[in-house]
Structure formats: structure tokens, C-alpha cells
Amino acid sequence: MANEIRLKTPLTEEDVDRLKIGDKVLISGVIYTGRDAAHKRMIDLLNQGKELPVDIRGQVIYYVGPAPARPGKPIGSAGPTTSYRMDAYAPRLMEIGMRGMIGKGNRAPEVIQAMKKNRAVYFGATGGAGAVLAKSIKKAQVVAYEDLGPEAIHRLEVEDFPVVVINDTKGNDLYVEGAKKYRKD
């Protein structure tokens, strides 16, 4: 990994502008969860000119549907879900100030373009490392769409949550550059 950077949310334009693909970042502070169903509802609200249930300016959305918490634990396993399913919604949220997304897997070109335009980044968390990642989550609270169960929007308090920069604000893509480096034709 090129660098190890600690960041605290909410993120500023300067925070994200200095990140480069491949950087390892440890995020602390509040992040919000959201998957397909919650995204759809948020975009529907925006289309109706209404307020979102959470203020996402400067915030990071983590694409995760956690496993249920055992008694005494804030959350169950909580690794990333595949991000392309949120591609249809992400540019709109970046337009209104979302600064970061955490997930796994490739993003559409228009999402990468929106990151460049709106100064936002896409972080990857290790897919299938849900038990390790849950240990960085200190508190979890449902703040919207409780009826969606694991897909509800949760407010998470995280400490040194480990991610890697996949797409930076310059339009670079770790998935392209990483594979190029190790491909053997």
C-alpha cells in the first residue's frame, strides 16, 4: 500500500482530493449505511423535492446490509456489498454533497466521472471480511427505513475502519491499474 492515512468524517474536499488509488485509509467518526432499497427511496424523495432523512453533505455511505447483532454487540458481521447496484443512484447523491462511498466491485464510468466532477471518492472494504470489519464498528443505530430490516439506513460510529482507495478525484481506477500490473498475457 502506498500510504496509510487516517481520516475523520465528515470529509472535506481537501480530505478527498489528496487521496490516491491504492492508499490505505482508516476512517473514524460517523458513516451511514445504505443499499439498493434505501437508495431508491432517497432518490424518490429528491425527485419529489423533499429532504433526505439524513444530511449526507460531507458524509460517507457504506454499502452494507449487516447481519443481526448478538446481545451486547453493536452489530453483526458487516462487510461490503457489491456497489454497481447503487450506480444508478450515486451520482445524484454526490451532486448534493456526498463525499465518499464504501463498497466492493467496479463502478460505472458515469459514477467515476461524477466523483471527479463533485470531488468524491470510492473506497473498497475487504469483501467477505465481515467479522473483522464489524470489530471497527463501535455503535450502530437505525435512523431511517426501519421496515427494510438489514437494508435500513444505520448510523455507524467507526474507529479506524480499514478501506482502500479504489477511485480517486482524478478519475483513476485501482481495479484497472492493479490488474494491469499483474496481468500475464
Partner 1 sequence: MREIQVDEITKTVKDLFIDANYKLGQDVVDAFDRRIQSDESPVAREVIKELKQNVAIASQGEYPICQDTGLAVVFVDMGQEVHVIGGNLRDAVNEGVRQGYKEGYLRKSACNPFTRKNTGDNTPAIIHYDIVPGDKIRIMAVPKGGGAENMSRVHMLAPSAGAEGIKDFIVNRMKESGSNPCPPTIVGVGIGGTFERTAILAKKALLRKVGQRNPDPDIAKMEREVLERINKLGIGPMGYGGNTTALDVFFEVEPCHIASLPLAVNVQCHANRHKEATI
Could you write out the DSSP letters of every residue in 146-175? GGGGGGSEEEEEEEEEEEEEEE-TTS-BHH
Contact 164, 3 (CB under 8 A): no
Q: For residue 104, list its beta bridge partners.
A: 82
**Residue selected from 10, 34, 65, 100 as contacting partner 1 according to rule CB under 8 A:** 65
109 binds partner 1 (CB under 8 A): no
Q: Which stretch binds partner 1 (CB under 8 A): 12-20, 46-54, 60-68, 112-120?
A: 60-68
The minimum distance between CB 172 and partner 1, in angstroms, equals 13
167, three cell numbers: 477511485
164 binds partner 1 (CB under 8 A): yes
The minimum distance between CB 62 and partner 1, in angstroms, equals 11
Q: Which stretch binds partner 1 (CB under 8 A): 11-19, 47-55, 112-120, 142-150?
A: 142-150
DSSP 80: P
**Residue selected from 20, 92, 108, 175 as contacting partner 1 according to rule CB under 8 A:** 175
Nearest to 79 by CA among 60, 65, 89: 65
The 3-state DSSP class for residue 145 equals: coil
DSSP 54: S
> For binding to partner 1 (CB under 8 A), which residues are involved?
1, 22, 36-37, 64-70, 73, 76-79, 81-82, 84, 104-106, 124, 126-132, 134-135, 148-150, 162, 164, 174-175, 177-185
